[in-house]
Amino acid sequence: MNNSDIAPAVRLSGLDKSFGAVHAVRGVDLTVRPGEVVAFLGHNGAGKSTTIDMLLGLTTPDRGTVHLFGTDARAAVVGGRVGAMLQSGALLPDVTVRQLLTTFAALHRSPLSVGETLERAGITDIAATKTTALSGGQAQRVRFALALVPDPDLLVLDEPTVAMDVEIRRAFWASMREYSAAGRTVLFATHYLEEADDFADRVVVLAEGRVVADGTGASIKALVGHRTVTVTLDPRDTDGLDSLPGVTAVDRRGDTYLLRCTDSDLTIRALLAARADAREISITSANLEDAFLALTDPHRADAPTSPQTSRTDTPKNGALR
């Protein structure tokens, strides 16, 4: 079968949603192919959770359509093709983790075995623990296990690693890598930019209810278009650094200076010509945090002039369009 004949795992078309005077989601278009791992980034109130709720059929859009694997969202969920881990997901009290998973599995047509679910989620060691005795991070892992129970083709995660410490977070993403390696589709919203950069094939940035960027992490970082030159100088004579060609901002940290610049080659040549004492020079590209801040704050000096880069498919060369 040609790839073009395979229905997208997710297709959102023109989604709009308002709550009173608050316009939470504004014309969101998004297509996710089967097997993709996609991260949703955005400040609180950007529309991430509302979009996820509409994707799962928990909220009805004012306008627009949602299709999962070519069918209605609710039908896909009922059919066990979708697993979800939401921020607001409460756990039944006064039951063990194993009892909870057993109860939940009984609701599905073809669930994973409880033992396999515990193993995949990495929570076998807490199977006999009562839900009321779980730590915040352990409770999140149990919510992840519940999302795995139907053995879904699409896993939707809303801030999955909130309350997890570093060790549990690392184990969680190890489990997720095993899951996605089997060709499953994953869409997750996160505040942790390094998670999006490290784990996602593709990053979608939302701001004020709109998609403002959509592409690989490298492509989105390239949108910012600046680099930082780090140099050690004699702090007694630093006048004129901000007037070097290409420099847009200067930050001092002791006798080390960070020069944000639009053309690092031009800046370096001018710096070496002007300062014989320049040493320990390095150049770094913009990171995902730089790109995220620029894309979601149009008042920043380094904000892209045309931030709307949404598209329905990822070009093979990773470029945005």
Report the CATH number that the domain containing residue 245 is assigned in CATH: 3.30.70
208 within some domain: yes
Give pLDDT, residue 193.
83
Minimum mean pLDDT range among 43-52, 60-69, 276-285: 276-285
**Do 204 and 251 belong to one domain?**
no
Q: Do 217 and 241 sit in the same domain of this protein?
A: no
Q: pLDDT for 4-25, tens place per residue? A: 568 999 999 999 999 999 999 9
Please give the C-alpha separations between residue 45 and each of 23, 197, 202, 208, in angstroms, as whole numbers.
10, 21, 21, 7
Do residue 188 and residue 152 come from a single domain?
yes
Alpha carbon distance 190, 64 (integer Å) = 24
Residues 239 and 193 in one domain: no
- Say yes or no: 122 and 230 in one domain: no
pLDDT for residue 97: 98
Give the distance from CA 39 to its chain's centroid. Answer: 3
Domain membership of residue 118 (yes or no) is yes
Does pLDDT of 308 surpass 80?
Answer: no
Residue 134 lies in a domain: yes
| The domain boundary residue, chosen from 221, 246, 261 | 221
One domain, residues 254 and 141: no
Query: How many helices and strands, by DSSP H and E, does the chain display?
Result: 10, 14
242 domain-assigned: yes
Over residues 164-192, the mean pLDDT reads 86
- CA–CA separation, 315 and 215 (whole Å): 9
197 shares a domain with 103: yes
User: Which residue, of 168, 190, 221, is where some domain finishes?
Assistant: 221
Q: Is 25 left (phi over 0), alpha (psi -120 to 50) or beta?
A: beta
223 CB-near residues (< 8 Å, 6+ apart): 213, 291, 294, 295, 304, 307, 309, 320
Q: What confidence tens digit (pLDDT) does each residue in 142-164 have? A: 999 999 999 999 999 998 988 88
Domain-embedded: residue 191: yes
Give domain status of residue 304, yes or no.
Answer: no
One domain, residues 213 and 245: no
My answer on whether 105 and 121 are in the same domain is: yes
Percent above pLDDT 90 for the chain: 46
| CA triple 137-140-143, angle to 5 deg | 155
Q: Are residues 162 and 24 both part of a single domain?
A: yes
Q: How far is CA 196 from the centre of its chain?
A: 4
Q: Under a CB-based contact definition with an 8 Å cutoff, are residues 247 and 261 in contact?
A: yes
Residue 307, pLDDT > 70, answer no
DSSP character string of 27-84 = EEEEEE-TT-EEEEE--TTSSHHHHHHHHTTSS--SEEEEEETTEEHHHHHHTT-EEE
Residue 308 inside a domain? The answer is no
pTM of the model: 0.75
Last residue of a domain, one of 166, 190, 221: 221
Same domain, 69 and 152: yes
Rounded to a whole number, what is the distance in angstroms from the first to the last CA of the chain?
A: 27
List the CATH number of the domain containing 154. Answer: 3.40.50.300
Do 120 and 253 fall into the same domain? Answer: no
Q: What is the mean predicted confidence (pLDDT) over 89-96?
A: 89
Let me know if residue 310 belongs to a domain. no
Domain that holds residue 248: 226-285
Domain count, the chain: 2
